[in-house]
A = this chain, B = another copy of it.
């Protein structure tokens, strides 16, 4: 199968008719279809297929136990109504790059594997990169067992229902120790390559990022009869905090977003008792990020006090900066040409998780609009081809004579 054929084969799986976006959530039917597709691609190429204890898929060329393997891949699951490229572009490009290398007639000197990491987006259980986190020992079995989806189904229940053994999950250091280099190709989720005019770039780092929950607790009351002076309306400091987050991010050259909100009782004629907003903030370094989140918190506290509203801020997650291994990154720019742009990213990836355990690098493919996590996510055909060739060059440089 060519790149085009693989892409067309994947396209209908988990696509939602109304939104045109993808709903490929971990351990669902759409996920099973994606996994069957991966296995078929592996077997069609004569690769040795296996699923690891955490449900991640592997397709091996050469001896999986020999060590110093070169591994490439990404994920096939999606955010709610996500695009076609985030994840699948990396997996499809991996198979296409192997085909390219075979066409070149190269001789492999190291084992090569293609992977599909499970539950990267965390759309179902609320935690991203579950498959790679488990493998890298960054998520304990106990904590994974406590994850539940919106219907109350636990992660082990969902795995078991999909035919996997949830008893087996956990850190997999032997497997990671066999990897000499991991390279993940991914559609860019910003516009850096579009602005620089390049089809492909190399990752420098993943920005430190985190999520903070802001609980503004006021007093429920009748929206028609409660005088302005008697109100303790938590929607007002919430609104001020949304605007403060934008201001702080602009000042710092960072990003800060309130994209999720829960309101109680959420009635048209009721002053809310509670407005809960989630702040997602990211910056190029931790000092800058601290400055942004400190500024937002300070503004929120001042506005909450002015409105007689209680505020609790809870850090729900935090991921420090990930610097990809400099030696591997430099090797990639040597292979691809010294003019290849090197860029940071605000998004988390399995590569970021694995980078704590193995030498890891990423390739980005140009996104003409920067839009991602949306049905409008796109990469041009020529750029996808350039991505496949760049990945083939990298794999040849790392794994072939």
17 more contacts with CB within 8 A, not counting A230-B370, A233-B246, A261-B266, are A79-B265, A190-B222, A190-B227, A219-B376, A220-B373, A222-B346, A223-B259, A224-B255, A224-B280, A224-B282, A224-B348, A228-B249, A228-B250, A239-B239, A257-B269, A259-B270, A260-B270
Q: Are B273 and A255 in contact (CB under 8 A)?
A: no
A235 touches B258 (CB 8 A): yes
Q: How many copies does the complex hold?
A: 2
Listed A/B pairs (17) with beta-carbon separation below 8 Å: A189-B222, A189-B225, A191-B227, A221-B371, A221-B373, A222-B373, A223-B282, A224-B345, A224-B346, A226-B371, A227-B370, A235-B257, A235-B258, A239-B242, A243-B243, A268-B278, A268-B280
Task: List, in ascending order, chain B residues with CB within 8 A of A190's CB.
Answer: 222, 225-227, 230
Which residues of chain A in 192-218 are interfacial with respect to chain B, using CB atoms and an 8 Å cutoff? 207, 209, 211
Q: Which residues of B contact A161 (CB under 8 A)?
A: none
Q: In the bound complex, do residue B255 and residue A226 qualify as a contact, i.e. CB atoms below 8 Å apart?
A: yes
Contact-residue size bin, chain A (C-beta under 8 Å from the other chain): 35 or more
| Known A-B contacts A235-B242, A246-B236; A255 and B227 likewise in contact (beta carbons under 8 Å) | yes
Indicate if the CB atoms of A228 and B246 lie closer than 8 Å.
yes
In the complex formed, the residue of B with least CB distance to A194 is B230
Q: Pick the contact of A269 from B239, B250, B263, B373 — CB < 8 Å? A: B373
Q: How far is the CB of A40 from chain B (nearest CB, A)?
A: 30
